[in-house]
Structure 1
Amino acid sequence: MAAVLALLDLLAGEGSANRFEAVVEEARRQGVTGADLRTVERIKRLALGIQARLERRQQWSAALAALVDTASDLASPHTVEDTLKIITRRARLLLGADVSWVTLPAADDGALRLHSLDGHVTMLNTRLRLPEGAGLAAAVLAHRAPLWTSDYLTDESFRHAAELDQWIGAEGLHAVLAVPLSRGTAFAGSLHVADRSVRHFSADEIALANMLAEIGGVALSRAVYLDETLAEMSALRDRLSRAEADLADARGLTEAQGALLALALDGCAPQLLVEECHVRLRAPVLLCGPHGTTIAAAGDLSERGEAFARARKAAGVLLDPAPVLLQDGIWSVPVLAGGHPLGVLYVQAGPAPTAGTAELLRYAARVVAVLLSLQEGRGPVDGQFRDELLEDLLISVPRPRDLLQRRARRLGIGLDQPHVVVIARVEGGAQAHAVSRASTCARRLNGLQTTHESDIVLLLPGTDPGAAARTVHDELSSLPGGPPTVSGSGPVSDPGAVLHGYREAARCLDAMTALGATGTSASTHQLGFLGLLLSDHMDADRFIQSTIGAVLDYDAQRLTELIRTLDAYFDTGGSPTYAAEQLHVHPNTVARRLERIGELIGSDWQRPERALEIQLALRMSRIRRVLREHDEPAGGQDA
């Protein structure tokens, strides 16, 4: 009875197993034998079993408490990496293992990689990648259930991976337990614990690892969502910051545009406008005219003068309104009015200006164009008056001459001064650009421009219609669709004569088209005898003088017979020998005279078209001489 009580005391006091055995030995020494001794031994075994179950329950309770602590720790917000580190650290401590880690699929190729190792002593695990289907992790994900091995390297029940086996051997690991790490309904990876000794994992240890993996999976899901949310919030903050910056830039751009436009509408000097551009752009600004002359400058240009000079030289004529980077961070923006260049704005804004700066550059160039146009009287009202005046000059209904001249004087044009009429015909779809360019040209030359019967008509001051036609042709040749066909006539010095000049230029233009001379420029005077036929006023004297006048003057001054020689040459079919016989001179004399004629009227005088005009001029000169000789005696008799 004393032995039983001693065993119960030991059980109540949680004594060690050897003390239980000492009580049995004491009973034997005291003479307890037979059935009584067997009862004492049975009670000992029962007491040890009860004690083992109590210890197991205590261990389980401690493990559950550790799980609760882990769950509490994971309940706080953590990043994915911090969450994985907490899981592996608690797994190693909970199971009393030497090493723990997590395997997760890689984001790039889906292969399994080791993460958040705890307790390791080597660095062979750096970026360790497991081939597809290899290792205990692949078997766990395939079976969706915990798996363990008492000695990893000797276990052939799963496929091995050389790199992982090398790391397992370097760490000295033997027993490995792997449980699936789930995220919701999906399996994200696996949780591993390992010992450096051969051992078997109990059901309680496997259950603890499994519960920890489930808790860790939930925490991992939340950490992933948290990281994604933080990334989205960061992206939203960046977008908000960019939006606020864009809004501030837009407000600044609007304010700058308003300030520049207000200065232009107030009629300020270009220097003041350029200085405002310098303040708004925070960069040196230079405004040059269409020929490179400096109109205004602002900013520190002392050290940048050479750079601006090189930029101006390299820029050339720019017709694209977009800013162009030249060199040394200098941007050029053409100042255009109706497609016509009024100058160039140069700004040293650096190699990569912001979008707001680029927009402000374009706007500044437009404001400068407005200012220069206003200062040069190129407003829309002025242009409308000019167009209407020329349209009234081209209609057949007579208008009071004094009224037309007064309207012209208001525009600074004197219709009593010599003017030429120019007509331009543009092919293709460049009509609108051509009208704008021609209007700019007319204003620049202090003339008039309008569109009449689908053609562009200009009235320009001057006496040379051919030169005026070439000027207009060169002005419009750079437009797309091919060069225009341009004709000229005149000069005219009366409002009523403008219509006649227009009709003459129109006939010249139609003749050029019929002759296949499209895309060129000419005047009625340049068309020779054809121009004589097209002219409203048959000016035979002018035709004769422009064709063989030099030869006539030479004969009159030196009393030579070059005209007779020219007549004889053409009468004999262009034969110097027969011409010499007709003139009763030596052929060498005819040859020398013909050379002199070539020097006077050009070496190409024997070309068929020139020869035809020369023969016509000779006949008209002969008829004029006969008529004058016929009138002189009559005039003398009357006298």
Structure 2
Amino acid sequence: MAAVLALLDLLAGEGSANRFEAVVEEARRQGVTGADLRTVERIKRLALGIQARLERRQQWSAALAALVDTASDLASPHTVEDTLKIITRRARLLLGADVSWVTLPATDDGAFRLHSLDGHVTMLNTRLRLPEGAGLAAAVLAHRAPLWTSDYLTDESFRHAAELDEWIGAEGLHAVLAVPLSRGTAFAGSLHVADRSVRHFSVDEIALANMLAEIGGVALSRAVYLDETLAEMSALRDRLSRAEADLADARGLTEAQGALLALALDGCAPQLLVEECHVRLRAPVLLCGPHGTTIAAAGDLSEHGEAFARARKATGVLLDPAPVLLQDGIWSVPVLAGGHHLGVLYVQAGPALTADTAELLRYAARVVAVLLSLQEGRGPVDGQFRDELLEDLLISVPRPRDLLERRARRLGIGLDQPHVVVIARVEGGVQAHAVSRASTCARRLNGLQTTHESDIVLLLPGTDPGAAARTVHDELSSLPGGPPTVSGSGPVSDPGAVLHGYREAARCLDAMTALGATGTSASTHQLGFLGLLLSDHVDADRFIQSTIGAVLDYDAQRLTELIRTLDAYFDTGGSPTYAAEQLHVHPNTVARRLERIGELIGSDWQKPERALEIQLALRMSRIRRVLREHDESARGQDA
């Protein structure tokens, strides 16, 4: 009875098998024999059996828990390669095997390749390829069921492959288990685990490998779908990028077409339109008349002059609007208007044209045809009217005002509205091109343009002469020979005041030249106190307000003494200390006031050129204040 209790205690305490045997031996020593001894031995065997089943259940529970962890891990999105690595790693750990791998179909010819090996020690397996029908993978594919062998190399129940056998031998593998790896209803491949010793795989191990393969097959299906989706998304992004590039090209083509058409509708000279074609096509351009005479050219034609000459001689009357490659990379497009052949447009664009370039070239030829047709039908009458009107506004002998206003109204211009006068002076022998561009600019802004005393003069609507001068400067800056010098004055709102505005702008232009400011733009207002000297009508209020107006307004609003501090600062030679003594305040107070002045009129107010203007404005403001006080005192005495 004591032996039975001891066995039960060992069973409850999960004792080792040798301890169970020790209880039986102890019973023998104590004289237990016969039926009692057989009972003890039977109880021992039963206890060991129960313990073995308990251990098996524990192992199975642990394996199921690991399987659940594997399923959880595979539930996260992974690539196909990462999914296969997880499957092989977990398979090797679950079954306590030495090596694991997956075989997947290589091509449609039935061959397989090894993937995602785990636990291997040689490099012979690198992308190992199995021929059709060889290895356990082919047998699993044929039976769609798990297969295993206790000693792979000696088992002749399946077809061997020399390369796989070589690798199996190099790894020292013997026992191999293979289970099918499915993707839905389709066979994806097989999962293999192997040991470096001869062994038999238990039913539980085969079942675990099979369940892992089923879970892995689902994860593999999703990974394949994810990879395919990512590939499709990448392809879609590529197509989207190409579509965006095509859209950008289309927008660029539309913009170029709009710019060319706008120039033609503005009535520009052919030279300006050809220059725009040169910029848009990024190639030398030549426009010839119907008899081969040159109408306009743009770009560096020095290297291609002979080629263009040969192209002109070789070109007959072209009626097909499509670009034609002649020779030396020169393309020609006829300029056609209805049934009329107005000329040919030549472009040195290389041996091949992109679709957008070809379309732009065809469109440029049509726009040139529109421009030439308009010029042939209209002539220079409108331009002459505009030139003559501005010339009449600039002569010293005044014309009747009502006559000038009627002429301006016929051109769509109101001389009773604010206008500014702009004068442009160009160098480098590009006067004709500059006049053409200035004329186009004047038409676009609904103004007038003419040439007066070798300078280009424009009368443009607006109130800011500086902005108008910058606009004209930018319009003419791309011409060869350097940027122009442009001056502006105004505004003027009367036909008789245009001449005064022109004289102010002319003096401003001469002053800019004398000061070495050629190639820039400015107005009389922007020249500070120098503008007062150049102007026919001195606007002291405007000068004072633009120079120190912010400080005057600050004093008036907050009852401060910034202007008085500024006077004292300049009266004492720019010394804050002496200025503080003169004002009877602490030097720190003067320093704070000077900082505030810098915030109001700019930190560069102490620079010599600014300081001179500020001192002039202070003196003018002081004189105006004294005169105003004197005038008020005189009126008080008269009363």
TM-score by length of structure 2 reads 0.55
Quick one: structure 1 residues 574 and 309, their matched pair in 2 at CA, closer, same or farther if it must change by over 3 Å? farther
Tell me what 2:291 maps to.
291
The answer to whether residue 438 in structure 2 is matched with residue 441 in structure 1 is no
Kept in 2, the 8 Å contact 1:338–1:436? The answer is: no
Distance 2:117 2:372 in 1: 75
Q: Offset of 1:212 from its aligned partner? A: 0.7
Moved more, 265-274 or 315-324: 315-324
Q: Is the 8 A contact 2:271 2:433 kept in 1?
A: no
Shift, 1:193, TM fit = 1.1
For 2:21 and 2:545, how far apart are their aligned partners in 1? Answer: 153
**Distance of aligned partners of 1:553 and 1:219 in 2 relative to their CA distance in 1, 3 Å threshold:** closer
Query: For 1:329-371, what per-residue CA distance to the aligned partner results, in whole angstroms no more than 9, with x for missing partners?
Result: 6544343445765444344556665433332122112212232
- Distance apart, 1:315 and its partner CA: 7.0
Give a deviation string over 1:445-476, Cα, whole Å, max 9, x none.
Answer: 99999999999999999999999999999999
CA-CA distance at 1:262 after TM superposition: 2.6
SS at match of 1:398: coil
Post-superposition Cα deviations, 1:407-434, rounded to whole Å, max 9, x if no partner, equal: 9999999999999999999999999999
Q: How does 1:19-38 map to 2 (within 5 A)?
A: 19-38=19-38
What's the offset of the Cα at 1:97? 1.4
For residues 337 and 405 of structure 1, what CA distance do their matches in structure 2 show? 38
1:124 corresponding residue in structure 2: 124
Deviation at residue 93 of structure 1 after TM alignment: 1.3
Q: 1:545 to 1:297 in 2, by over 3 A?
A: closer
Q: Secondary structure at the match of 2:132?
A: coil
Q: Secondary structure at the match of 1:496?
A: helix
197-206 vs 38-47, greater mean Cα deviation: 38-47
Cα 1:278–1:444 change in 2 (3 A) is: closer
CA contact (8 A) 1:565 1:590 kept: yes
Pair 1:133–1:510, CA change in 2 (3 A): farther
Query: For residues 135 and 498 of structure 1, do their structure 2 counterparts lie closer, same or farther at Cα, with a shift above 3 Å needed?
Result: same
**Contact map agreement 1:425 1:486 (CA 8 A) in 2:** yes
Question: Is the partner of 1:341 in helix, strand or coil?
Answer: strand
CA contact (8 A) 1:333 1:361 kept: yes
Structure 2 segments unaligned to the other structure (5+ residues): none
Instruction: Give the alignment's TM-score, normalised by structure 1.
Output: 0.55
8 A Cα contact 2:266 2:440, kept in partner = no
| Counterparts in 2 of 1:440 and 1:228: CA distance versus 1, 3 Å | closer
Q: Is the 8 A contact 1:340 1:440 kept in 2?
A: no
Counterpart secondary structure, 1:377: helix
The question of whether the paired residues in 1 share the 8 Å contact of 2:182 and 2:189 is answered with: yes
The alpha-carbon distance between structure 1 residues 182 and 432, as it changes in their structure 2 partners (threshold 3 A), is farther
Maintained 8 Å contact 1:288/1:295: yes
Please state whether the residue corresponding to 1:345 is helix, strand or coil: strand
1:106-150, Cα deviation, whole Å (9 max, x unpaired) = 245442222222222223233322222222111111111111111
1:530-587: CA deviation from partner (whole Å, max 9, x where unpaired): 9999999999999999999999999999999999999999999999999999999999
Could you tell which deviates more after superposition, 252-261 or 330-339? Answer: 330-339
Greater displacement, 399-408 / 327-336? 399-408
Change (3 A) 1:61 1:379: farther
Q: 1:4 to 1:95 in 2, by over 3 A?
A: same
Give the secondary structure class of the aligned counterpart of 1:190: strand
Residue aligning to 1:631: 631
* Deviates most, 154-163 or 409-418: 409-418
Change over 3 Å in CA distance of 1:134–1:184 after alignment to 2: same
Query: CA separation of 1:365/1:580 partners in 2, compared to 1, >3 Å: closer, same or farther?
Result: same
CA contact (8 A) 1:476 1:483 kept: yes
Conserved 8 A contact 1:339-1:433 = no
- Flag the 1:430–1:355 CA change in 2: closer, same or farther, 3 A: farther
Check conservation: 1:340, 1:437, Cα contact below 8 A.
Answer: no
Separation (CA, whole Å) in 1 of partners of 2:551 and 2:35: 169
Contact 2:268 2:439 in 1 (8 A): no
C-alpha distance in 1 between matches for 2:97 and 2:546: 118
Q: 1:38 to 1:322 in 2, by over 3 A?
A: same
Question: Does the Cα contact within 8 Å between 1:487 and 1:506 map onto a contact in 2?
Answer: yes
Q: 1:534 to 1:308 in 2, by over 3 A?
A: same
Query: What SS does the aligned partner of 2:538 have?
Result: coil
CA change 1:306–1:403 in 2 (3 A) is same
Report if aligned partners of 1:339, 1:436 keep a CA contact under 8 Å in 2: no
Distance of 1:58 and 1:381 partners within structure 2: 108
> Cα distance 1:117–1:273, how it changes in 2: closer, same or farther (>3 A)?
same
Residues 182, 213 of structure 1: 8 Å contact kept: yes
Are the counterparts in 2 of residues 393 and 499 from structure 1 also a CA contact under 8 Å?
A: yes
Question: 1:59 matched to which residue of 2?
Answer: 59
Q: Residue 296 of structure 1: CA displacement?
A: 2.5
Deviates more, 1:589-598 or 1:349-358: 589-598
Judged with a 3 Å threshold, the aligned counterparts in structure 2 of structure 1 residues 5 and 77 are, in CA distance, closer, same or farther, namely same
SS of 1:459 mapped into structure 2: strand
Q: Quick one: structure 1 residues 407 and 189, their matched pair in 2 at CA, closer, same or farther if it must change by over 3 Å?
A: same
Once residues 328 and 244 of structure 2 are traced to their aligned partners in structure 1, the CA distance between those partners, rounded to angstroms, is 31
Change (3 A) 1:489 1:25: closer
In structure 2, what is the equivalent of residue 342 of structure 1?
342
Q: Structure 1 residues 45, 511: closer, same or farther in 2, change over 3 A?
A: closer
Aligned to 1:126, the other structure's residue is in SS state coil
Confirm or deny: 8 A CA contact 2:268 2:436 kept in the other structure: no
Structure 1 Cα separation of the partners of residues 89 and 456 of structure 2: 90
Change beyond 3 A, Cα 1:349–1:35: farther
2:253 touches 2:360 (CA, 8 Å); kept in 1? yes
- Measured against aligned partners, the alpha-carbon deviations of 1:575-614 in whole angstroms (never above 9, x if no partner) come to 9999999999999999999999999999999999999999
Q: CA 1:63–1:570 in structure 2 vs 1: closer, same or farther (change >3 Å)? A: closer
Contact 2:419 2:490 in 1 (8 A): yes
1:397 corresponds to:
397
Matched residues in 2 for 1:14 and 1:633: separation?
123
- Range that drifts further, 95-104 or 286-295: 286-295
| Whole-Å separation in 2 of the counterparts to 1:590 and 1:232 | 72
8 Å contact 1:339–1:437 — kept in the other structure? Answer: no
| Root mean square deviation, CA, Å | 26.4
Q: Are the equivalent residues in 1 in contact too, given 2:88–2:116 (CA < 8 A)?
A: yes
Q: Which string of whole-angstrom CA distances, capped at 9 and with x for unpartnered residues, describes residues 252-294 of structure 1?
A: 3223222212322333211111222233334443334456554
- Matched residues in 2 for 1:187 and 1:210: separation? 14
Moved more, 393-402 or 149-158: 393-402
Deviation larger for 37-46 or 577-586: 577-586
Q: Secondary structure at the match of 1:48?
A: helix
**C-alpha distance in structure 2 between counterparts of 1:117 and 1:230, whole Å:** 25
Q: CA deviation at 1:510?
A: 76
Q: Which moved more, 1:186-195 or 1:318-327?
A: 318-327
Written as runs of structure 1 = structure 2, the 5 A alignment for 1:240-319 is 240-289=240-289, 293-299=293-299, 319=319
- What SS does the corresponding residue of 2:495 show, helix, strand or coil? coil
Query: Identity over aligned residues, as a percent?
Result: 98
| Alpha-carbon separation, structure 1, partners of 2:604 and 2:149 | 112
Give yes or no for contact 1:338–1:437 (8 Å, CA) kept in 2: no
Residues 42-89 of structure 1, C-alpha deviation per residue, up to 9 Å, x if partnerless? 222122111111111111111111111111111111111211111111
Distance 1:398 1:195, change over 3 A: same
Q: Superposition pairs for residues 89-488 of structure 1, below 5 Å?
A: 89-107=89-107, 109-289=109-289, 293-299=293-299, 319-324=319-324, 331-338=331-338, 342-349=342-349, 354-377=354-377
Higher deviation after alignment, 566-575 or 372-381? 566-575
The farther-off stretch of 504-513 and 272-281 is 504-513
Q: Is the alpha carbon distance of 1:316 and 1:586 closer, same or farther for their aligned partners in structure 2, counting shifts above 3 Å?
A: farther
User: How many residues matched?
Assistant: 639
Higher alpha-carbon deviation: 540-549 or 467-476: 540-549
- Residues 119 and 409 (structure 1 numbering): CA distance in 2 closer, same or farther, change over 3 Å? closer
- State the distance in 1 between where 2:571 and 2:240 align: 95
